[in-house]
Structure 1
Amino acid sequence: MEYPWIGLIIGIFGVLLASYFYYWVKKQDEGSEEAKRIARYIREGAQAFLKREYKTLAIYLVVMFVILFIIGYLFSEQGLDFRSSITFIFGGILSAIAGYFGMSAATIANVRTTNALKEGIPSGLKVAFTGGAVMGLSVASLGLIGVSAAYLAFSHETQKLAAILFGFSFGASSIALFARVGGGIYTKAADVGADIVGKVEVGIPEDDPRNPAVIADNVGDNVGDVAGMGADLYESYVGSIIATIAIGIALGLKEYAEYAILVASIGLIASIVGILITANYKGENVFKALNMGSVTSVVLTALLSGIVAYMILPEVSVSDIITGSKIVMSWYKTFFSLILGLIAGIVIGFVTQYYTSDQYKPTQDVAKAATTGPATDILAGMSVGMMSTMIPMITIALAMIISYKLVGIYGISIAAVGMLSTLAMTMSMDAYGPIADNAAGIAEMAKVGEEIRKRAENLDAVGNTTAAIGKGFAIGSAALTALAFFANYSKYIVGEDITITNPSIVAGVFLGALMPFIFSSMAIRAVQRAAMEMVNEIRRQFRETPGILEGKATPDYSRCVDISTKAALKEMILPTVSAILAPVLVGIIPALGKEAVGGFIIGATASGFLLAVYMANAGGSWDNAKKFIEKGNFGGKGSDAHKASVVGDTVGDPLKDTAGPSLNILIKLMSIVALLFAPIFL
C-alpha cells in the first residue's frame, strides 16, 4: 500500500470524529431563553456573512480556474499543467468547507459553554474546547485528505506532479487571504466602533447589550478568529506538505516525498489524543489542561515520526537541487530537521506569550504607561512589539540554517511540516479562544449571574493567551512554508543559485519588502473607514433613541452587522488581487524578470515576517494591558489609565487581527503565485 493511502484513511477518521464532536456539542443544553436569543443573533450574523463571502469566492474560483486551465494548456511544454486548475478548485473548496463547518460549531458551542459553566469550569471547558476541536480536526483532516487524494490521483505524473499539486496550494492560499482579510475587517470594524463609543464616550462595559455593535463584535470573533485563522493554518499546513513532496520528487526520493504525508498523519492521531486529554480534564486550571494536551500531542508526534523515519527512509547520497553539492540524506538527519520545526513553533509560542500576557513584565509595563495617557501607552506597546521580533527571527533563521546543513532544502520544508504537524491540537486551542470570548459576552448580555460570568471570564482570559500564541505560531509556520516555496522556485525556475550581485535580484528584494507595508496600509485603512461608519451609526442610535442607554429600548443590532458585512466584502478584494498580481508583474517587466521574482519572494518573506510579529505582539500587549487594568490595577475600570488603555487597544485591534495575520498568507500566496506562473516569466 502506498503511504498516502494512510493519510487518506486517517484524514477520513478525523472528519468522522469532528462530526461526532459537532453533534455532541449540539446535544448540550443552551440555557435561558435570553441566552438563546443572543446566541441566535450571533449565529445568524456569522452564517449570513460567510454565505455572502463564499458567493464572492465562488466567482473568483471560477475565473481563476479558467485562467489556470488556459495557462496550463498553453505552457505545458515549460512544465505547467492544466490539471493544476482542477487541484486549485479542490484546494479552495476544502478550505471553505473546513471554515464553514468549524464556524458552525463555534456558533453553537458559545451559548452551551455559558450554560455548562453553571456546573463549573471543567464542564464549560469541555464544551468550549470540544467546539474548538471541530475546527481543529476539520482543518487538519480535510487538508490531509486533499493532499493525499491529489497525490494519489496524479502520482503517475512524476514530471508534472509538483506543478499539479501547487494548484491545490494556490486554491488554499486564495481562500485563506479572502477569509483572513474579510473576517479581519468585519471583526475589527465592529470592535473598534463598539469600544470608541461604548467604553470611551459613554462609559458602558464590554459586551453590554445596550451597545448597538455588540452583536457584530461577537459575530466578528467567529468570522475572523475561527474561519479566518482556520483558513490561514490550513493553507500553511497543505503548503508545507506540498513543498516537501515537490522537493522529494526533485531529488528522486519517493520515500522522502511521502514522509511528509506520514508525519501529518501521525500528527493528526497525536492531536486527537491531546484533544481528548484536554476535553476530559477535571481540574479548575484551564491553562494546565490546554498545556497537557498540547505537550502530549507534540511528544507523541516526535516519537512516532522518529520511529517511522527509521523504518522507511533510506540513507542515500544526492546532489543538492540548488547548489549541486553532495548531501547524504538519512533518517536521523531528517528527523532532527523535523524536531527543529517543532521546537521553533514552541519557542515562538512562548515568546509570544511572554510579550503579550499580562502575567509578565512587558505587558504590565504597557499598562503602567497608560497611567500618563494614551500617547505613552501606545509608545510602550510599539516598543514591546518591536523588541518581540528578535527571538522569533533568530529562531527561524537558526531552524533554517541547521536544517539546510543537515539535508539541504528538504530540511527547511520538513521543518515546516514538523512545526505544523500538530495542527489539529493547535487549531483547537485557537478556536477555543473565540468560543470562550463569546460565552463571556453572552453571560454579560443575558445576565446569567455573577458567578457564571466570572467563570466565563476565566475561560476567556486563557483563550486570549491561546489566541496570541496561535498568532505567533501561524506567523512562524508561514515564514518556513514561504522559504520552502522559495526553495522550489529557485530550483525549478532559475536553475541556479540566486546571488545578490545581480541588480535585478536586489531590485526584487526591495519591491518584495515593500509589499507587506502596502498590503497592511490597505487592510488598516479598510478597518478605519468601516469603524468610522460604525461609530457614526452607534452615535446616531444613542442620539435618536435615548431609551437605549437607559435599557428601555433595544438597539438596532442588524444595522451594525450590515455595516461590517458590506465593508468586509467590499474591502477584501483589492488587497487580495494585488497580492496575486504583484509577483506576476515583477516577472513580466523586462528589466526585472525571473531572477527579480526570486528576490521579491525573499524581500516579502523577511519584511512580512517581522511586520506580522510586530503587529501581532504590539496589538496583543495593548489588549492585555487594558485587561490588566480592568482587573483593578492602576485605578481599574473607568479610571484615566483605563481610558488610555482602551485607546491603545483600539489602535492595536486592526494590527493584531486584520493586517498582521493577513501577512502570513500574503507571503505564502505570493510565493505560490510565483511558482505557478513562472513559465510566463521565462
Structure 2
Amino acid sequence: MYAMYYVAIGSLAALAFAACMFFRVKKEPGGSKEMLGISSAVQKGANAYLRRQYKGVGIFFAVVFVILMGMAICGFMSFFTPFAFLTGGFFSGLSGFIGMRTATMANCRTAQGASESLNKGLRVAFSAGSVMGFTVVGLGLFDLTVWYFILNMAFGALPEGERIAQITANMLTFGMGASSMALFARVGGGIFTKAADVGADLVGKVEAGIPEDDPRNPAVIADNVGDNVGDVAGMGADLYESYVGSIVSTSALAVAAGYGVKGVAVPMMLAALGVIASIAGTFFVNTKEDATQKNLLTALRTGTYISAVLVVLAAFFAIRILLPGHMGVYAAILSGLAAGVAIGAITEYYTSDSYPPTRKLAASSETGGATVIISGLSLGMMSTVAPVIIVGISVLVSYFCAGGKGDFNAGLYGVGVSAVGMLSTLGITLATDAYGPVADNAGGIAEMTHMPGDVRRKTDALDSLGNTTAATGKGFAIGSAALTALALIASYIDKVRQIAPGLDLDLSITNPPVLIGLFIGGMLPFLFASLTMEAVGEAAQSIVVEVRRQFKEIAGLMEGKAEPDYSACVDMCTKSAQRLMVAPAMVAVAVPVAVGLLLGPQGVAGLLAGNTVTGFVLAVMMSNAGGAWDNAKKYIEGGAYGGKGSPQHKAAVIGDTVGDPFKDTSGPSINILIKLTSMVSIVFAGLVVAVHLL
C-alpha cells in the first residue's frame, strides 16, 4: 500500500514538470505580428475541431455509460465500471487537449527560436513536446492512484487477497474508456490532418507547382491545424491509453500469479520511476549549430537512452524491495526496455534519410511515381521482419525469466511487466514524438511569413527529424500494443474463468469457434484500415475540389494579391472527419461483442489472437512505409535527384501523398484497435458468458 503513495508523488512530479515546460515555452517570444496571427488562426481551427469532436464523442460515452449501468444493474459487472469508463475517457481526452494547446502556442515560438539558432529552435519544440509527454504519464498515474485509493476503501472489509482482486478487476475496465477516446481522437484527427495534407499537396505542389506551406494555398492552415489535432491531440490520447492499459493489465495478472499487493504495485512503481528518469533525460537534449540529421537524432536519443539507463538501475532496487524472491521479473523489465530501444532503432533505420532504405526509395523517383509507390510498399513490408522477431524474443525472455516454465500465470505477468518496462520512459519518448508536429508547423509559419531562407532550412531540418522521431514513436507504440494485447488476452481468459469456473474453455486451434474467431480477427485490421483509408480519400477529394475552385475563382490569388478562404477548408475537414470516423470506431466496438454473442468466449479468444497478430504486422508496415515516403521526399527537397520542382520531386510527392494516411491515420490507429477490442471483450465478458450458459 505504501508504494502507491510514491506512485502518487510520481504523477504529481510529472504534472508539475509539464506545467514548468508549458510556462517556459509561453515565455519565449512569438515573433512578428504576422507570425502570431497565423499561430492564432491555427489554434482557433484546432479548438473548433476539438469542440465539435468532443460533442460527438460525448454522445457516444453517454450511450455506452447507460448500457454499462444497465449491465451493472443486471449483475454482469461492478457498479464502478461505468464510472471508471468515463474517467478513463476524460483523462485520455484531456491529455490530448493540453498537448494540442501547447503545440499551437509553440509553433511560432519555434520558428522565432530557429531564427536565432538551430539549438534554440530544437529546445523550444522539444519543451512543447515535453508538455505532451509528461501530461500523459502524469494524468495516467493520477487516474490510477485515485481509483486505487477509492476501490481500496470500497472493498476495505474484504481480506487482502479478495480486496486486491476486486481492485484490479475494476481498474482494468477503465481502460475501455481510454481506448474509446483514443480511437476517436486518432481516427478523427487522422482523417482531418491527412485530408488537408493530401488536398494541399495534390493541388498546390503537384498541379500548381507552388511550394509547400505557400500562403496562397487555401488548405495550408487546415494542414497546420491537422498536424495538431491528429499528431498531437490524437497521439496523446493514443499513448495515454497504451500507458494505462499496460499497467492495469499487468496489475490484474499479478493477482492471477499470486503476487498480491506488492505484485500489483510493481508496474505502477516502475511507471513512477520512469517519470523521474524521463525528467532527468530531458536536460541532455541539446545540439550544435549546423548539425546534421544524425547529430539531431543523437541529441534526442541521448536523453532517451539516459532515461532508460536510469530506469534499469532504479528498477533493480524496486524489484529487490517489492518482490525479493522473484528477480526474474527484473529480467522481464530489461527485456521490454531493450525491445523498445531495438524497435526504435529499426524504425529509424527504415525511415530516416540518413540510412540506405530511404535513400534507395528516393532513388526510385527517377523512374516515376509508380516505382516510388512499389519501392515504398516493399520497404514497409520488409520492415516488419525485425520488429516481429524482437517482440517474439522479448515475449520468450520475459515469460521464462519470470518463471513461466513452472507457473503459467507468473510467465504472463512477466510479459505484462515487459510492456510496462517498454513504456516506462514514455514521458521523454513521447516528448520526442510530439516535438515533430511543432517543428512542422514552425516550418509552415516560416514559409507563410517569408522569413529568411536560413530559417526555413533550420525548420526543415527539425521537421525531417520530427518525421523520423514520429515514425519511431509509432513503432514504439505499436510494439508496446502487441505486448499489452498479449497481457489483455490473458486477462480476458482469466476473467472468463472467474465468471464461470466450470466452463469448458477449449482454446485449441481445431475448435471451430476459435478458428472462426482467428479468421475474423485476422480480417479486422484490414477492414479497419480500409475504412480509414477510404475516409481520408473521400475527405481529401472535397478539399482538392475546394482548392481548385479558389485558385480558379479568386482573382489575384495566384499572384499573391488576394487572400484565400482558409476557413472554408478547415470547416470542410472538420465536418468530414466527424462524419467519417463513426464507421471505423463502431467496427472496433461492435465486432468483439457480436463475435462473443455468436461464437462464445472461445470465439472471442480467437478473435483477439488473430487481431493482435495481423494488426501488429499491418500497423508496422503502414507506419514505416509512410515515414519512409515522407523522408524520401524531404531528402530530394534537400537537393538530391534534382531537388524541389524536379520530376523526381513530383514523383516523391505522389509517394508521400499515398503514405500520409498510412502513417498518420490507419497505421497508428490499428494499435488502438488491438487493445480496444481486448478491453471491450473484458468488459462484456459477463454478458457473453451468461448468454452461452443459458
TM-score range, shorter chain: over 0.9
Contact 2:329–2:401 under 8 Å retained in 1: yes
Contact 1:70–1:82 under 8 Å retained in 2: no
Q: CA deviation at 1:252?
A: 2.9
State the distance in 2 between where 1:368 and 1:386 align: 18
Q: How does 1:278-289 map to 2 (within 5 A)?
A: 278=285, 284=291, 285-289=295-299
Number of residues of Structure 1 aligned to a counterpart in Structure 2: 662
Contact 1:81–1:163 under 8 Å retained in 2: no
Indicate yes or no: 2:602 matched with 1:611.
no
Contact 1:143–1:234 under 8 Å retained in 2: yes
SS at match of 2:92: helix
Q: CA deviation at 1:282?
A: 8.8
Match of 1:205 among 202, 205, 211: 211
TM-score w.r.t. length of structure 1? 0.95
**What residue in structure 2 maps to residue 504 of structure 1?**
513
Match of 2:264 among 251, 257, 261: 257
Match of 1:416 among 376, 395, 419: 419
Q: CA deviation at 1:119?
A: 2.0
Q: CA deviation at 1:492?
A: 2.1
State the distance in 1 between where 2:377 and 2:271 align: 37
Indicate yes or no: 2:565 matched with 1:567.
no
State the distance in 2 between where 1:128 and 1:632 align: 25
Q: How does 1:507-656 map to 2 (within 5 A)?
A: 507-589=516-598, 592-656=599-663
Match of 1:109 among 106, 109, 112: 106
Amino acid at match of 2:576: A
Indicate yes or no: 2:380 matched with 1:398.
no
Amino acid at match of 2:386: I
State the distance in 1 between where 2:206 and 2:99 align: 34
Indicate yes or no: 2:345 matched with 1:350.
yes
RMSD: 1.4
**What residue in structure 2 maps to residue 465 of structure 1?**
468
Q: How does 1:183-202 map to 2 (within 5 A)?
A: 183-202=189-208
State the distance in 2 between where 1:112 and 1:252 align: 52
Q: How does 1:64-83 map to 2 (within 5 A)?
A: 64-76=64-76, 80-83=77-80
Change (3 A) 1:475 1:145: same
Contact 2:506–2:602 under 8 Å retained in 1: no
SS at match of 1:31: coil
Indicate yes or no: 2:221 matched with 1:215.
yes
**What residue in structure 2 maps to residue 325 of structure 1?**
none
Amino acid at match of 2:67: I
State the distance in 1 between where 2:659 and 2:249 align: 34
Match of 2:132 among 122, 130, 135: 135
**What residue in structure 2 maps to residue 492 of structure 1?**
495
Identity %: 50
State the distance in 1 between where 2:92 and 2:483 align: 21
CA deviation string 1:185-237 (max 9, x = no partner): 00000000001000110101111111100000011111111111111111010
Q: CA deviation at 1:82?
A: 1.7
**What residue in structure 1 maps to residue 89 of structure 2?**
92
**What residue in structure 2 maps to residue 20 of structure 1?**
20
- Of residues 19-28 and 482-491 in structure 1, the stretch that sits farther from structure 2 once superposed is 19-28
Q: CA deviation at 1:240?
A: 0.4
**What residue in structure 2 maps to residue 48 of structure 1?**
48
State the distance in 1 between where 2:2 and 2:211 align: 58
State the distance in 2 between where 1:159 and 1:298 align: 31
Amino acid at match of 2:682: L
Indicate yes or no: 2:3 matched with 1:6.
no
**What residue in structure 2 maps to residue 476 of structure 1?**
479
State the distance in 2 between where 1:473 and 1:132 align: 16
Match of 2:167 among 158, 161, 171: 161
State the distance in 1 between where 2:270 and 2:41 align: 41
Change (3 A) 1:4 1:282: farther
Contact 1:187–1:219 under 8 Å retained in 2: yes
- Of residues 350-359 and 414-423 in structure 1, the stretch that sits farther from structure 2 once superposed is 350-359
State the distance in 2 between where 1:611 and 1:288 align: 29
Q: CA deviation at 1:112?
A: 0.6
Contact 1:84–1:163 under 8 Å retained in 2: no
CA deviation string 1:412-451 (max 9, x = no partner): 1001000000010011111111101111111111112112
Q: Which runs of 5+ in 2 are unaligned?
A: 156-162, 403-410, 690-694
Contact 2:365–2:649 under 8 Å retained in 1: yes
Q: CA deviation at 1:281?
A: 8.3
Q: CA deviation at 1:74?
A: 1.4
Q: CA deviation at 1:497?
A: 7.0
Q: Which runs of 5+ in 1 are unaligned?
A: 316-329
SS at match of 2:394: helix
Contact 2:191–2:665 under 8 Å retained in 1: yes
Amino acid at match of 2:427: A
Match of 1:678 among 682, 685, 692: 685
Q: CA deviation at 1:184?
A: 0.2
Q: CA deviation at 1:20?
A: 2.0
Match of 1:361 among 356, 363, 387: 356
Amino acid at match of 1:21: M
Q: CA deviation at 1:181?
A: 0.1
SS at match of 2:557: helix
**What residue in structure 2 maps to residue 179 of structure 1?**
185
Contact 2:319–2:330 under 8 Å retained in 1: yes
**What residue in structure 2 maps to residue 448 of structure 1?**
451
Match of 1:339 among 318, 334, 340: 334
Amino acid at match of 1:375: A
